[in-house]
Every structure is written in C-alpha cells, then in structure tokens.
Amino acid sequence: MMRKVLFAVLLVAAVMSFAKTRVVFWQFMMDDALAKEVLVGFSKEFPDIEVEVVQLSWSTGFDKIVTAIAAGAAPDVVELGNTWVASFASQGVLREVQPEDLAKYRNFPGMNSAEYMGKYYGYPWLLGTRAMFYNVDLVMKAGLDPENPPKTWSELLNAVKKISALPGVYGIGLPAGEVYSPWQEWFLLALWGNGGDVLSKDLKTAVLASDQNRETARFYQELSRYALKSKQKDLGEAFGEGRVGFLVSGAWSIGTLAQSYPNLNYSVCLIPKPDKPKGIHASFLGGEILAIPTQTKNLDAARKLINYLMRPDVSIIITKHYPGVYPADPRASSDPWFEDNPLHLVFFEQLKTAFPVPPTPAWPKIEDILSNLVDDLIVHYKNVDEVLDYYNKEIQKVLDQVK
C-alpha cells in the first residue's frame, strides 16, 4: 500500500512538472542572484510557468540574438537595447504588442522607443536619460540662487557667463572631439527641445537645416564661447574638480562623483528648455525594451512574464542594484528609494520628456555626421548656415543609400 501511495505522489509530481510551460528569457541586466530575487514573486503567482533566464553580454549579445533568430531558435522573451528595435522590427521577427498591453503602456516614457512605422514591437522596461549637473558653490559665487537653477536657455546663458567671469573656471562643459557624446550630451537634445529634428517623420528626408535647428545651433555656438570643450570623460573630471559650472551627463555620474569627489557640492536639474512657449526640457532616451520574437510558441506565458517585469515594485529592484536605469512605469516615483536618492528622482522626472534616436538603420552613420557637425560649430566656429546646409546634404546621401 505504501508503495502505491509513493508511486501516486511521484506520478502527480511528474505530471505537474511536465505540465509547466517553459519560457526562455534572454536578458542583459540580471545575474543569477538578481534574477532569482526579481522572479521570486512570479514563481509564486504563476507556478505553472517555469522561466529559464539567460544572461547575455553587451559585447556579444546582439550577434547571439541575430544568430538565434536566423536558426529558428529564438527565446520567448528578449531584452533589446532601444536602438535595436527598429532593426529587428523591420525584418518582421518581432510580434506586435497586443492591443490590451498597448492600451496599458502606450503613455509610458520610452514607449516611443518600441515604435516602428506606426506600430509597436516591444515594452519599455528600464530607461536611462541625461540631466544637467551644476556646481552649487560656483553658482553661489556668481551671485545666483542654487535653489532656482536655470530653466530656460536665456537663464542658462546668463548663469554660464557669470560663472565664466570667475577666475580659473568655465561656465559649462560641452563635449567635442569624439563620437557619441557631442550630440548625446546636449546638441541633439537641444534640437528636439526647440521643436527641431534631424529626419522627417517618415525617416526619408534630412531636415537638419530647418529654422528651428538654425536657431538652436546659434544658441549652442554662443554658449560654447564660455565652455570647456573636450571629451566627456575629461569634462566629468573637470566638473568634479570644481572647474566647470554646468554639465549634461547621465545618472552614472552620481556614483562617480560620490566615489571620486565626495566633497563636491553639486545638484541636478532638468535640462533647460528654449524660452519659446512650446519649448521643452528635452533629453536623450536610452533603455531596455522587452520584446517577443515571432517564433515563440508560448505567447500567453511570455506576456505574463513581461507584464510582471513591468510592474514598478518589480523593476525598481533592478534600479536599486543598478542606479541609473529606472522603471518605465511612472508610478515608481512613489517608491521610498527615491526619497533617499533625490538626485535620481530628477532623472526619473526627466524621462517624461526624453526621446530616442530616429528608428532608422542609417543612424550609426548619421550620428558620426552629427559629431563632426558639433565640432565645426563649437570648436572651429564655422558659419551656422553653411554647417547645417553642408551636413544636411551629407545626411541625405546616407538616407538615399538605404532606400
């Protein structure tokens, strides 16, 4: 009798194990210990779903995803860098977001990163952005109020001029002489804030030479006359040493400054906006997008996993381990962690007006052009109209090649 009972128990356990749906999740953010911490609630809520978590590396992850999809061996859920979505969506290998999920997340910061040609192919999970750091002591020495940092371009220019008048310091740091940072750490952001852009909405035409962009470029060039212009790493060190008044940077600088310059008296504010009524505090949006490959056979379970990971009380767990990436869900702002980390709350607020780069496969070449453009404006002080006209033609050449 005892053997029969034992056999029955084992049989039930085997059936239950066999009945579990297995979801394979490829991601970059969590090691085994963190994944266990994040998913413990999911296992209790969905005991019939088993999640296999695979951590990818940023150096090889993109290629592994491409190879797996090509081989018909894609995971059920995959984390994508937000600049990758357009590339995969254009090949038809990602499922569109289900209507009920789209209704839930459509207004989340970062949902624009998951859009391609008017449709959505992913869920914004963890986001990062840029904000403006400022040296409180230098602001005070210049006779300005550190509790009321610049909110507009004119206020910033005024503050930068006054700080530059102090001995041995620069009003602001503007990156130059390298890729990425010259356009990421404010120039492109300034274009967006002023209602401009680099490409038309259909991604086929360069619009760099618009009136809004000419106005932005002139402001940026004027600001640069009071700036230390160098690589972003050098600017970060200069800011930490108290030689720069203002600097646009990411939230990673909070940890760097705490470690390397613990006595620095600084704060963080939203990136100043144009003075015009429709100007916005625009910033650059980076982030992690959760997507479902078309190859999945477990769509329902995959959606359950994603909706769980999107919850603010779940995604904030990752923020606590890696400050600088934040939940896309605006409700996360009420988490007590932000009360203890108020500078990070500024970045979380900045996400509301942060934008991703245009979703075009031509972007890697375009960003190189923008870096050169910024150097011509603020290092070589070339004529604004000539610079924008020239580089607009260069960008159009790139676009024509991908048509």
Q: Measure CA 201 to chain center.
A: 20
The predicted structure's pLDDT at residue 97 = 97
**Is the C-alpha dihedral spanning 230, 232, 236, 242 positive or negative?**
positive
Token digits of residue 260:
């390397």
The predicted structure's pLDDT at residue 303 = 98
- Amino acid (1-letter code) at residue 193: G
Alpha-carbon span 85 to 113, nearest angstrom: 7
Q: Provide the strand spans (E) within 292-386.
A: 326-327, 354-355
Second CATH level (architecture) for the domain 20-128+285-355: 3-Layer(aba) Sandwich (3.40)
Mean pLDDT, rounded, for 243-249: 98
- Counted residue by residue, the chain has a size of 403
Q: For residue 334, name the pLDDT band (cuts at 50, 70, 90).
A: very high
Instruction: Indicate if the pLDDT at residue 213 is higher than 90.
Output: yes
Residue percentage of the chain with pLDDT more than 70: 95
The predicted structure's pLDDT at residue 313 = 97
DSSP 71: T
Mean pLDDT, rounded, for 290-309: 98
**258 or 361: which leads in pLDDT:** 258
Domain residue extents for the chain: 20-128+285-355, 130-284+362-402
Decide if 382 contacts 195 (C-beta within 8 A). no
**Is the C-alpha dihedral spanning 202, 205, 211, 214 positive or negative?**
positive
Mapped onto helix, strand or coil, the DSSP state of residue 304 is helix
Instruction: Indicate if the pLDDT at residue 11 is higher than 60.
Output: no
User: Are 20-128+285-355 and 130-284+362-402 the same fold in CATH?
Assistant: yes
Alpha-carbon span 314 to 304, nearest angstrom: 13
Q: Give the chain's radius of gyration (CA, Å).
A: 24
DSSP 401: H
Mapped onto helix, strand or coil, the DSSP state of residue 218 is helix
For the domain 130-284+362-402, what is the CATH code? Answer: 3.40.190.10
Measured N-to-C along each axis, helices 312-321 and 299-309 cross at an angle, to the nearest 10 degrees, of: 60
The closest of 76, 79, 63 to 29, measured between CA atoms, is: 79
Q: For residue 360, name the pLDDT band (cuts at 50, 70, 90).
A: confident
* CA distance to 135, 144, 395, per residue, from 230 (Å): 18, 26, 25
Instruction: Indicate if the pLDDT at residue 399 is higher than 60.
Output: yes
DSSP 184: I
Token digits of residue 323:
């400050």
Q: What is the pLDDT of residues 20-71, one digit of tens each?
A: 999 999 999 999 999 999 999 999 999 999 999 999 999 999 999 999 999 9
Token digits of residue 102:
């789209």
Mean pLDDT, rounded, for 241-256: 97
Instruction: Indicate if the pLDDT at residue 15 is higher than 80.
Output: no
* CA distance to 183, 211, 364, per residue, from 197 (Å): 12, 11, 16
Mean pLDDT of the chain: 94
Residue percentage of the chain with pLDDT more than 90: 90
Q: For residue 402, name the pLDDT band (cuts at 50, 70, 90).
A: confident
Return the residue matching tokens 């999640």.
51
Alpha-carbon span 113 to 111, nearest angstrom: 5
**DSSP character string of 30-56:** --HHHHHHHHHHHHHH-TTEEEEEEEP
Q: What is the pLDDT of residues 72-119, one digit of tens each?
A: 999 999 999 998 998 899 999 999 999 999 999 999 999 999 999 899
Region of residue 118 (phi > 0: left; psi between -120 and 50: alpha; otherwise: beta): left
The predicted structure's pLDDT at residue 3 = 55
Return the residue matching tokens 């600049």.
83
Q: What is the pLDDT of residues 108-161, one digit of tens each?
A: 999 999 999 899 999 999 999 999 999 999 999 999 999 999 999 999 999 999
Mean pLDDT, rounded, for 238-267: 97
pTM of the model: 0.90
